[in-house]
Amino acid sequence: MKAATAHIDIDALRHNFSILKSYAPDSKALAVVKANGYGHGLLEVARTVNDLCDGFAVARIEEALALRSGGIVKRVLLLEGFFSPSDLPILVINNIETVVHTPTQLEALEQAELERPVSVWLKIDTGMHRLGIRPEEVADFVARLEACDNVQKPVRFITHFGCADELDSDVTARQIEAFNTLTAPYEGEHSLAASPGILLWPDSHQDWIRPGVSMYGVSPLAEKTGADFNLKPVMTLTSSLIAVRTVKQGEAVGYGANWVSERDTKIGVIAIGYGDGYPRMAPNGTPVYINGRIVPLSGRVSMDMLTVDLGPDAADQVGDEAVLWGEPLPSEIVAQHIGTIAYELVTKLTARVNMHYR
């Protein structure tokens, strides 16, 4: 009997990557594998899409180095750039590319003594106001980067959208326009689109797309599922029923007695909890799939277990497998019940979960 297991469907991952490339057939693609490949396994994911992609993007230098020591030789980009001047020689030795989004990074590049120049993507804040240099700073940054011997020429350009999952908002169109205007004088390549840009905003495709969550079969739009875009869930999270118990009408189940049965029923206890990364804040009624049907979470999620109402006539047996999310219960649906996004669900599994690749 297996406890919490994340089944990773390698074929689905490759299928999704091909679908995303068909959305943007003229663009090159950086597969985004930060946060342990969104919880799916950094190296396993990278090796699976290595022949389909043109490179990888990560958020931390440790992730980039793990790719290199795992044998990945394609380009690797640090999406937030390097965090300290002492990282620069490491980037050179390992051929890791960096975003530059702040004067601190620019100054570090100007002052460093490096054996070879570093490949730089200048991040422009076109309206999200999280990271990036302001529009009025672009000319000065480009001039200084172009004058810097530690920087490969030409400098590339990158931006990120704040509202690309909202089709009825004009924010993204304005961000694309601002980016195009600001970068028009320069020859370096462009990258704008993460998953929602790839799926919804063709004008954002340009030279390099950066698919993350959609590669894993998850919709970047909270109200849709991957299937709406012909994507297949890559992760299916399962565990086993370890008890089937009778509960009488009026009896409460679990910590805090926060669910009281309205009828005599059977409660299934499944061996997964917040210690595995299943969110404790999941409310009563959150769907769980078992033996061909959806049953509601009933009672508070514990560290190692959760409880579902199987119904009075349930024939489920100890040892039966339950699906918490994936195939056929999309993580996007589970996330809607919990009040989060599927990005967070798949990324937050803990080390206790068995990873199974198929």
Tell me the residue type at 357.
Answer: Y
Burial of 44 (0-12, 13-18, 19+ CB in 10 A): middle
Q: Is 248 a catalytic site residue?
A: no
Closest by Cα among 236, 194, 238 to 331: 236
Q: Is 34 a catalytic site residue?
A: yes
Q: Given the complex with ligand PLP, which of 30 and 310 has the nearer CB atom?
A: 30
* Min separation Cβ 34 and ligand PLP, Å: 6
- Strands of the chain, DSSP E: 5-8, 28-32, 55-58, 75-78, 96-100, 120-123, 156-158, 190-191, 208-209, 235-247, 252-253, 259-260, 265-270, 287-290, 293-296, 306-309, 321-325, 354-357
Residue-by-residue DSSP string for 200-230? H-GGG-SSEE---GGGGT--SSTTS-GGGGT
* Min separation Cβ 300 and ligand PLP, Å: 30
- Strands of 223-358, DSSP E: 235-247, 252-253, 259-260, 265-270, 287-290, 293-296, 306-309, 321-325, 354-357
- The torsion region of residue 8 among left (phi > 0), alpha (psi -120 to 50) and beta comes to beta
List interacting residues with ligand PLP (CB under 6 A): 32, 34, 79, 160, 194-195, 210-214, 220
> Nearest residue by C-beta to ligand PLP?
212
* Min separation Cβ 304 and ligand PLP, Å: 30
Q: Given the complex with ligand PLP, which of 207 and 320 has the nearer CB atom?
A: 207
Tell me the residue type at 165.
Answer: D
Q: Given the complex with ligand PLP, which of 254 and 326 has the nearer CB atom?
A: 326
For residue 222, report the phi and psi dihedrals to the nearest 5 degrees: -60, -30
* Min separation Cβ 21 and ligand PLP, Å: 14
Q: Given the complex with ligand PLP, which of 213 and 323 has the nearer CB atom?
A: 213
Q: Given the complex with ligand PLP, which of 259 and 343 has the nearer CB atom?
A: 343
On whether the CB atoms of residues 288 and 322 are closer than 8 A, the answer is yes
Q: Given the complex with ligand PLP, which of 25 and 256 has the nearer CB atom?
A: 25
* Min separation Cβ 198 and ligand PLP, Å: 7
What are the angstrom distances between the C-alpha of 274 and each of 95, 122, 312, 332? 39, 39, 27, 18
- Name the helix (H) or strand (E) containing 336: helix 331-338
Catalytic residue among 34, 123, 289, 343: 34
* Min separation Cβ 292 and ligand PLP, Å: 32
In the chain, what's the furthest Cα-to-Cα distance? 77
* Min separation Cβ 266 and ligand PLP, Å: 39
Task: Give the pairing of strands 55-58 and 28-32.
Answer: parallel
Q: Given the complex with ligand PLP, which of 3 and 59 has the nearer CB atom?
A: 59
* Residues noted as catalytic: 34, 255
